[in-house]
Amino acid sequence: MGIEDRLRKLERRLQPKPTPPTLIGAHTRRAIDGFVAALLAHAREIEDEAAARRTEHGEDGKGALSMAKISVLEKHPDGRAALDAVCAAYQPLRQRREELRKERG
């Protein structure tokens, strides 16, 4: 390989790479990031709530965790904002929030 070939190879490597297309829009990405941040911020409380739901309500692990996430996030302003942002795009989460509201009376 001569110097010219090496130079062309180096020039190709230095060219900016095109960004791959994303399937998730910027608004959706912000909503997901906010939801994950809220979950991480309240992870311990969510775990405790899920354990209580399994014990008191006899729910299975997956259902208890799902409802615990919503229940705990509804208690905190950052959690409510995250739920509102995600609910706009995710129908099952909206339904679970309605179930929780009915359950609370």
Pair 35, 70: CB distance under 8 Å: no
* Domains contained in the chain, number: 1
Residue 21 lies in a domain: no
Residue 76 lies in a domain: yes
User: Nearest to residue 76, comparing CAs of 38, 44, 40?
Assistant: 38
**Side-chain half-sphere of 60: how many Cα atoms within 13 Å?**
2
Phi, psi of 63 (to 5 degrees): -65, -40
pLDDT in tens, 10-35: 888 888 888 777 777 888 888 889 98
Residue 94 lies in a domain: yes
pLDDT in tens, 32-72: 899 899 999 999 999 999 999 899 888 888 888 988 998 99
pTM: 0.64
Residue 6 lies in a domain: no
Which residue range forms the structural domain that includes residue 64?
27-104
Q: Where are the alpha helices (DSSP H) in the chain?
A: 3-14, 26-41, 43-57, 61-75, 77-87, 91-104
